[in-house]
Amino acid sequence: MTGLGLTGGSLWVAKNGLSGIRPRETEQLPVRVETLDAHGSSAGETRVPTPGTVTVIDLFATWCAPCDDQLEILNAMQPEYTDVSFVSVTNERPSETLTKADISEWWNRNGGAWPVGLDPGSELLAALGAEGLPYIAIADESGTVQFGHSGLAGKETLRDELDALV
Partner 1 sequence: MRRRTVLKSTGAVGAIVGVAGCLGSGGFGDSNPNVILEEPDREFESSDVPYPAWGEQIPDVSLSVPTESREIRLGDIETPTLLTFFYSHCQTVCPVLIATLRNVQSHAQNNGYADAVTFLPMTFDPARDTAERLGEYADEMNVDADSDNWQFLRPASKQRAKDVIQDQFGVVFQRTEPEDMDMYMFTHTALTLLVNADGFVERAYRSKSPDEETIIADLKTVRNA
Residues at the site binding partner 1, with contacts judged by CB under 8 A: 1, 4-5, 7-8, 10-12, 15-16, 61-65, 91-98, 102, 120-123, 125-126, 130-133
Smallest gap from Cβ 83 to partner 1, in A, equals 32
Cα–Cα distance for residue pair 100/90, rounded to 1 Å? 11
Q: Which residues pair with 88 in a beta bridge?
A: 58, 116
Q: How far is the CB of 85 from partner 1 (least distance, A)?
A: 26
Least separation, in Å, of the C-beta of 125 and partner 1? Answer: 8
Integer Cα distance of 53 and 3 in angstroms: 37
Q: Tell the smallest beta-carbon distance from residue 71 to partner 1 (Å).
A: 17
What would the DSSP string read from start to end of 18-79?
A: ---S-----TT--EEEEEPSBTTB-SEEEEESPTTS-EEEEEE-TT-HHHHHHHHHHHHHGG
